[in-house]
Amino acid sequence: MRFPLLVCALATACGGSDTDWFPSDLDKDAVIATAGEAAAAKACQAFEDYLYAQYRDSLLVEAVCTAIGIDQSADAATCADYVQGCVDNPPASVMSVITSLVDATGCGGLDYQPTGCGKTLADLAACLDAAEDELKNLRLRLECSAAGQPLPPDALMITTPAACTSLELACPTPG
């Protein structure tokens, strides 16, 4: 499975989270089913809040602007000019793309069922941290030098990390 992203939904950031976003009042060693859906939801919300706080006003805006610049520009110089103007004054559509991107990178992009899940909250945190790493690596693949060429379809997606695949397989959604 791949985390689906919008056509221009790209993101990045530098530095790692090392799960510093994880709520201190949750026991990471607790089994998700035992901790309950509310605990899993709290961890998921904390991760999304972290992504917004960490990246919304910096490299995430730059990444989305770069994606749009590549898509709309015939050459690298035009793309770079577009990116600079977009970063300086982001259009409203950029924030919409960022919201969709965060949703797809967080628990909204996972296909797992917390009820009856034998994995721990630490496993969920490891999955989300790995998803953040994939998100950061996505930006490294985007350069204005690609302007004038169509972006490859997979350039706008992040691969589901192994930690998330493990969670999805261990805690499948019914149906």
**What are the tens digits of pLDDT across the range 97-112?**
888 878 888 898 899 9
- The whole-chain average pLDDT of the chain stands at 83
Confidence band for 78, pLDDT divided at 50, 70 and 90: very high
Report strand pairing: 2-3 vs 158-159. antiparallel
Selected residue with higher pLDDT from 114 and 136 = 114
Instruction: Give me the pLDDT at residue 11, please.
Output: 34
Average pLDDT on 160-169 reads 95
Answer whether 0.95 is exceeded by the pTM. Answer: no
Confidence band for 3, pLDDT divided at 50, 70 and 90: very low
Cα 145 from Cα 139, distance rounded (Å): 13
In sequence order, which residues have a C-beta less than 8 Å from that of residue 150 and are 6 or more positions away? none
